[in-house]
Amino acid sequence: MKEIVPLTPAPIVQNRLAEVRQLFNRFVVPSYGRFDLALSHGVGSYVWDVAGKRYLDLGGGIAVCSLGHAHPEISEALIEQSRRLVHVSNLYYQEPQGRLAERLVGLIAPGKVFFANSGAESNEGLYKLARRFGHDEGRFEILTAVDSFHGRTLAGIAATGQEKVKKGFEPMVTGFRHIPFNDLKAMRDSLSPATVAILVEGIQGEGGITPATADYLLGLRALCDEKKLLLLMDGVQCGHFRSGHFQSFQRILEGVPGGETFLPDGISMAKSLGGGFPIAAFWVREEVHGVRLCDLLGPGSHGTTYGGTPLGCAVALRILDVIEREQLAKNVLTTGVFFRTELERLVRAYPESCQGVRGLGFMLGLEFHDKGSIPTFSKSDKASSLQMVNRLHEAGLLTIPSGAQIIRFLPALNLSCAQVSEGCEILEGVLKAIR
Ligand SMILES: *Cc1c(COP(=O)(O)O)cnc(C)c1O
Query: Containing H/E element for 208?
Result: none
Q: What is the pLDDT of residues 325-358, one digit of tens each?
A: 999 999 999 999 999 999 999 999 999 999 999 9
| Closest CA relative to residue 388, chosen from 362, 412, 372, 406 | 406
- Ligand 1 centre to CA of 160 (Å) is 10
Task: Walk along the chain (435 residues) in steps of 10 and give the mean pLDDT of each run.
Answer: 57 76 97 96 98 97 98 98 98 98 98 98 98 98 98 98 98 98 98 98 96 98 98 98 98 97 98 98 98 98 98 98 98 98 98 97 98 95 97 98 96 98 98 96
| Closest CA relative to residue 185, chosen from 220, 214, 147, 160 | 220
Predicted local distance difference test score (pLDDT) of residue 325: 98
* Amino acid at residue number 418: A
Pocket of ligand 1 contains residue 119 by CB under 6 Å: yes
Pocket of ligand 1 contains residue 151 by CB under 6 Å: yes
Render the burial of 255-273: b for 16+ CB within 10 Å, e for the rest: eeeebeebbbbbbbbbbbb
- Which residue segments constitute the domains of the chain, with CATH numbers given? 11-58+327-434 (3.90.1150.10), 73-325 (3.40.640.10)
Pocket of ligand 1 contains residue 117 by CB under 6 Å: no
Predicted local distance difference test score (pLDDT) of residue 122: 98
Atom nearest to 123 CA in ligand 1: 10
- Ligand 1 centre to CA of 120 (Å) is 6
| Closest CA relative to residue 314, chosen from 45, 78, 31, 19 | 78
- Ligand 1 centre to CA of 236 (Å) is 6
CA distance 383 to 406: 10
| Closest CA relative to residue 433, chosen from 366, 373, 375 | 375
Atom nearest to 271 CA in ligand 1: 7
CA distance 45 to 42: 7
Pocket of ligand 1 contains residue 270 by CB under 6 Å: yes
- Ligand 1 centre to CA of 280 (Å) is 10
Pocket of ligand 1 contains residue 236 by CB under 6 Å: yes
CA distance 101 to 112: 7
How far, rounded to the nearest angstrom, does the alpha carbon of residue 309 sit from its chain's CA centroid? 21
CA distance 233 to 123: 9
- Ligand 1 centre to CA of 199 (Å) is 13
Atom nearest to 122 CA in ligand 1: 9
Residue 246, CA distances (Å) to 45, 104, 251, 323, 369 in order: 21, 9, 8, 10, 33
Predicted local distance difference test score (pLDDT) of residue 12: 53
Predicted local distance difference test score (pLDDT) of residue 15: 72
- Ligand 1 centre to CA of 34 (Å) is 18
Please name the residues in contact with 358: beta carbons below 8 A apart, sequence gap of 6 or more: 208, 209, 210, 364, 365, 366, 367, 406
Pocket of ligand 1 contains residue 147 by CB under 6 Å: no
CA distance 336 to 362: 6
- Ligand 1 centre to CA of 414 (Å) is 22
Pocket of ligand 1 contains residue 202 by CB under 6 Å: no
